[in-house]
A and B are shown apart, each in its own frame.
Chain A
Amino acid sequence: MTIPTAHGTFTSHVVSLKKRKTTPCLFLLPTLYAVIAHTLLPDTDSDLKKRWKRKRMEKTKRKPWFWIWATASIIFRLILIYFPRNLNLSSRPEVSTPLTSLRRLAEGYWLKQASMSPYAGSMYHGSPLLLSILGPLTVKRIEGQPSNLLCSLLFVIADFISAMLLRATGQNLQMAYNKSMKSLGLVRPLESSEVLSSRDIAALVYLWNPLTIVTCVGSSTSPIENLVIILSLYGASSGLVPLAAFGWVMATHFSLYPAILVIPVILLLGYGPDAPPRKLFLQGNSDKIGDNPSTDSYYQHKEVTNQPAVPIIFSWKPVLHFLLWASIWSFYVLVLCGISVRKYGGLLEMFKRTYGFILTVKDLSPNIGVLWYFFAEVFDFFRNFFLIVFHVNILFMILPLAIRLNHRPCFLAFVYIAISSMLKSYPSVGDSALYLGLLGLFVHELADMKFSFFLFCGYVGVSLLSPVMHNLWIWRGTGNANFYFATAMAYACLQIILVVESVSAVLNHDRMLRKLPITKP
């Protein structure tokens, strides 16, 4: 058996299932279901039937539990949608940034309807495609219903799909992980004790995260941006190259920052989903040289029982496919955009108004990031310098992280998203919702993360304090910009701690994996 590549995982599992399990009932089950079942089955099992039944019982017990909560979250959103006026979330700076505000989109659509460029004036800075999809929905009104009902419904659907894709990605990860663990001969220490699989946790965290709910209800286009990012990750993790390319191209088109996700996606396609460090497999191979006498006996034992681990090769084929598809999709998107902005200054104008707006931080209205206040205060002749510094800060960490975490592309994607949502020019809680959802996928790896309680409290505290400070400053006039900026600063610090601690926790986890064989025999 080979170490799974993105392609290999899925098919090899199904094939092996079919080979091994001859029970007729299995053939009737949907493939996906079978795969889930397979991942949950311990391999060293003789009495298949019994175990299978037991697992199914467990699942039937467990599954409705997940679905109940998922539906509950959808219903909760639907209830909240009916009170947009009372909640007034759409104008919160935490929810809608100049890039994602639906109100600005409606203005852009109005301008376009008045045969003006949607980018005329400094209102709309989003994609022209989003404009033509969401624009008509902002105008359409159902009698007696809140004005943005249709858009909100769309966002609820987008949220739900995101959660499901997150779950599917989690499942891919889990499967691949179990596979590689098996090939290493390690039984996952946590598997027996898990109540809820990490994929369900991720999906539920995404669905029930108050930040996600607020973003969804508060009429901003972030749910759609999050959806395409997750779509890209899902496509890459399950080997669907066109889907991955599509997600990546759309995400980049919508908000530029996901462009850096090209590295995790390529790694995901090249090496397959997250696995323990490749050195472990290499060690297994180089055992014969015997530079590590303490593990000798174990590895020899392993080699008897299991197939020897073949060193992982970076498979170029899906990557090349991805690049091809990405260029096809981007060409397609550019053609579509070109058609829709043809009369209004063409693509150059579009890039200037979307990417240019993101990169030059022209809008200084307060948000939960730190750049607005920085650029409102900084001296004009330093402005360009600091613009470069802050954007290079994102780019600077790409390479070190990619080198260190190249065996965990999904986690790498999470770190990239977290870093960019911390340093991006117009951050909103929607970005945090995305990376917190992805965080759920790595629950087991991050189990011994430090400061997690502190971080949780910090997030709660900042999300309570920030609106209060905003209210004091903007509405009451009793506060000061510095108070609000302080909460933004605290939020940035929390994100920094989260990123640093999660990276160090994962690296420690990998170290522990390496030590595990030593302690085990």
Chain B
Amino acid sequence: MALLLRPIVSFLFFFATIAYGSVIEEEEFSEELLLKPLPDRKVLGYFHFESKAPPTNTYGRHHRLFPKAIYQLVQKFRVRELELSFTQGRWNYERWGGFDPISSSNAKPPGVELWAVFDVPEDQVDDSWKNLTHALSGLFCASVNFLESSTTYSSPDRSFRPFSGSLRYGTLPREAVCTENLTPWLKLLPCRDKAGLPALLDRPSIYRGFYHSQWLHLTSTESGSVGVESGIVLEQTLTVVLQPNTQRTSKTYSSDAVIQPSWSVSSIFGRKVSGRCVLAKSSNVYLLLEGGLVSEVKNLQKENEKSGAGSIAIEGFWSNPGFELSVIPDRVIKEVSSLHSKSSSVLYEFLIEKYSDSKPFDLGFTWKLPVVWSCPQAPLHASRFLMGSGNERGAIAISLKSTELSGGILGADIIEDSCRLRVDVFQVVPWYVKVYFHTLQVFVDEQPQTVTDVVEKIRVSPSEDKISPGVMEMVLKLPCDVKTAALTLEFDKGFLHIDEYPPDANQGFDIPSAVISFPDFRAGMHFLEDNSSNNSPMLSKFQERSPVLSYSEVLLVPLTTPDFSMPYNVITITCTVFALYFGSLLNVLRRRVGEEERLLKSKAAKKTGRLPELLSKLSAKLRGRPWEPPQSPSTSSSLISRKLIFKVTLVAGIAAAWQYYSG
């Protein structure tokens, strides 16, 4: 029976595949690791895990591999796209590259960054966002829920992602990321860190690194307002920059260049890969050698050939004068042509399937000669800093410096007369940094420019005190031969209520990173067309041409603090002073001198009406004394009684009105 059924099922699957094309039919999971030597003696490790779940209406609600928590999150809050990153450390754009897909999509600002697109009507987006932050906060053991407050998130319009209205973006620059955030993140993987590549994630060695960023990206067409439903795709990456141990490389060479430290998987992670996660569809390790490195190595090779020493046949390039790999790669993939460098980068692929407990995978990378190269850079290097001193006001400056590599790229375009380099700047400032947008100044090559010449578009949503942060999105058009450009904005520092200061108020407040992107440039690697590269989600992601993006530094703004121990003193002293004012002024107004007193007495005597007379009679009777009429008989009693009647009716009227309206 089973034998009979199988072909039918497979046939059905085949049909379905034809019908839906790219639509996911099965839950899939793949794990990949990319290793890349960095020019500054460090190694980049980039773990990439991808889980896919087919759409609910064809597959149902039960999943074998896909994490249930994420599925419920998507269902509940109707998330169309979500990106969450936890980062510790700062990506060094100058040394670790700023043009490749990893740096533009995985180099994240320190702390937590979250953005999400919802598939709900616009008036419900904020509510969904708030709920989502709470859910994520519970899921990842992080204080993502602080993003709930409207002062921390914003809805960027144009430059961030092309979504209107339903995108929310928030960052928590001060969030400390640690193993408590990594563990729930690993829990989302089918094998956790028990088997496969995640087993490499030895906590001490990871957190010893210079930079680590765990990233989660979720795309869903589940809620289905768009035509094709392709299910949910969950990408999880972990980017770490680690320093190999340098003790073995004491030998210095003739030139001042020091040989790079050799490393192996076990030396940088402290563990070896003992087989794949059996649930994973593909489980590969890649070694990426950048174009700069490849060309340097080729030069070395040529020199060696000239000197006659390089007679060893170099079939695979994995063993050459520059370096040597301890494991022979299963496949070598070459980049077709890269726009930004002379030589194309090379990717070695290692299949983990072949390794097991008895024969663990431990790739060793041994440098033989010192090689100096540099990573491809973004066209402009962005940095941001504060100007001014004191706690009253200051200025934010974003400076863009052209990198030496960009010269070459731009040189190609310079033939056109009106060569302009487009730079998008996206900046969120918290409300207590009160930016004066009219003070925006632009300097190109240290010459002040009129703002309208350089800034093509600007969208500003100024900050509201205690309600929303200030958002600034700008599109700059800079001349291609620009050396430096700078933007400055002045701001006033706000003063907070005593409760709004964080526990360590004197440390200062963080201004989240600015996002600077170059939409004219696309970071993408194009590999030789190979049907197997389609299998690898990571490689197909590298082939997407995403815009070059970089984050600026987080700024630390010290704010003035009041005296936190003073509330009672301030309240009592202030109230005393006001009481003094009130009392003494009333006293002055009320004070009368002798003569006035006499006048008043005589007047009072004059004015004695019928009622006081009666009252005094009554009191006299009560006391048992004969009643004495007042000294001066009232002359205007009729007038006074009229007044009295008027007063009584007025009071009665007011009382009646009060009764009527309140009742």
Is B315 interfacial (CB 8 A cutoff)?
A: no
Is A496 interfacial (CB 8 A cutoff)?
A: yes
Which among A45-53, A72-80, A359-367, A454-462 touches the partner chain?
A359-367
Q: When A474-B392, A477-B391 are in contact, do A120 and B462 touch as well, CB less than 8 Å?
A: yes
Q: Do B434 and A377 touch (CB < 8 A)?
A: no
Q: Do A109 and B585 touch (CB < 8 A)?
A: no
Contacts of B390 in A (CB 8 A): 474-475
Q: Do B567 and A378 touch (CB < 8 A)?
A: yes
Residue of B436, B463, B465, B563 touching A362 (CB-CB under 8 A): B465
Q: Do A376 and B562 touch (CB < 8 A)?
A: yes
Is A261 interfacial (CB 8 A cutoff)?
A: no
A9 to chain B, nearest CB (A): 28
Q: Do A503 and B570 touch (CB < 8 A)?
A: no
> What is the bound-complex CA distance between A475 and B391, given in angstroms?
6
Q: Do A489 and B589 touch (CB < 8 A)?
A: no
Contacts of B602 in A (CB 8 A): 291
Residue of A363, A480, A503, A515 touching B465 (CB-CB under 8 A): A363
Q: Do A116 and B589 touch (CB < 8 A)?
A: no
B567 to chain A, nearest CB (A): 4
Is A27 interfacial (CB 8 A cutoff)?
A: no
Q: Do B495 and A372 touch (CB < 8 A)?
A: yes
Q: Do A378 and B577 touch (CB < 8 A)?
A: no
Interface string of B564-577 (1 = CB under 8 A from A): 00110011011001
Residue of A376, A397, A493, A511 touching B582 (CB-CB under 8 A): A397
* Interface residues contributed by chain A, number (CB under 8 Å): 58
Q: Do A375 and B497 touch (CB < 8 A)?
A: yes
Q: Do B570 and A107 touch (CB < 8 A)?
A: no
Contacts of B494 in A (CB 8 A): 364-365
Interface string of B453-474 (1 = CB under 8 A from A): 0000010111111100010000
Q: When A291-B602, A376-B496, A515-B595 are in contact, do A504 and B588 touch as well, CB less than 8 Å?
A: yes
Chain B residue, CB-CB nearest to A374: B574
Is B385 interfacial (CB 8 A cutoff)?
A: no
Q: When A378-B567, A499-B585 are in contact, do A511 and B596 touch as well, CB less than 8 Å?
A: yes
Query: Quick one: which of A473-502 are within 8 Å of B by CB?
Result: 473-475, 477, 480-482, 485, 489, 492-493, 496, 499-500
Chain A residue, CB-CB nearest to B576: A489
A169 to chain B, nearest CB (A): 25
Q: Do B562 and A377 touch (CB < 8 A)?
A: yes
Contacts of A379 in B (CB 8 A): 567
Q: When A363-B465, A377-B571, A503-B585 are in contact, do A103 and B497 touch as well, CB less than 8 Å?
A: no
Contacts of B492 in A (CB 8 A): 365
> What is the bound-complex CA distance between A114 and B458, given in angstroms?
9
Q: When A121-B463, A500-B585 are in contact, do A378 and B470 touch as well, CB less than 8 Å?
A: no
Q: Do B560 and A473 touch (CB < 8 A)?
A: yes
Q: When A378-B570, A481-B561 are in contact, do A103 and B436 touch as well, CB less than 8 Å?
A: yes
Chain B residue, CB-CB nearest to A109: B438
A451 to chain B, nearest CB (A): 12
Q: When A111-B437, A376-B562, A396-B582 are in contact, do A511 and B593 touch as well, CB less than 8 Å?
A: yes
* Interface residues contributed by chain B, number (CB under 8 Å): 51
Is A122 interfacial (CB 8 A cutoff)?
A: yes
The CB with the most chain A CB atoms within 10 A, among B494, B563, B591, is that of B563
Is A380 interfacial (CB 8 A cutoff)?
A: yes
> What is the bound-complex CA distance between A376 and B436, given in angstroms?
23
Is A404 interfacial (CB 8 A cutoff)?
A: yes
Contacts of B436 in A (CB 8 A): 103, 106-107, 123
Is B578 interfacial (CB 8 A cutoff)?
A: yes
Q: Do A91 and B578 touch (CB < 8 A)?
A: no
> What is the bound-complex CA distance between A367 and B594, given in angstroms?
44
> What is the bound-complex CA distance between A376 and B496, given in angstroms?
7
Residue of B462, B495, B591 touching A121 (CB-CB under 8 A): B462
Is B498 interfacial (CB 8 A cutoff)?
A: yes
Contacts of A116 in B (CB 8 A): 460, 462
> What is the bound-complex CA distance between A231 and B71, given in angstroms?
70
> What is the bound-complex CA distance between A63 and B660, given in angstroms?
65
B116 to chain A, nearest CB (A): 25
Residue of A363, A401, A477 touching B589 (CB-CB under 8 A): A401
Contacts of B357 in A (CB 8 A): none
Q: Do B391 and A500 touch (CB < 8 A)?
A: no
Is B499 interfacial (CB 8 A cutoff)?
A: yes
Is B581 interfacial (CB 8 A cutoff)?
A: yes
Interface string of A365-404 (1 = CB under 8 A from B): 1100010111111111000000000100100110011001
A-contacting residues of B (Cβ < 8 Å)? 389-393, 431, 434, 436-438, 458, 460-466, 470, 492, 494-499, 560-563, 566-567, 570-571, 573-574, 577-578, 580-582, 584-586, 588-589, 591, 593, 595-596, 602
12 residue pairs bridging A and B, Cβ less than 8 Å apart: A91-B393, A111-B460, A122-B434, A122-B463, A123-B434, A364-B496, A377-B562, A378-B567, A474-B560, A475-B391, A489-B577, A514-B595
Inter-chain pairs besides A107-B438, A423-B578, A503-B585, 16 sampled, C-beta below 8 Å:
A106-B438, A114-B458, A121-B434, A123-B434, A362-B465, A363-B465, A364-B497, A373-B562, A379-B567, A393-B582, A397-B582, A400-B586, A481-B563, A496-B577, A499-B585, A500-B584
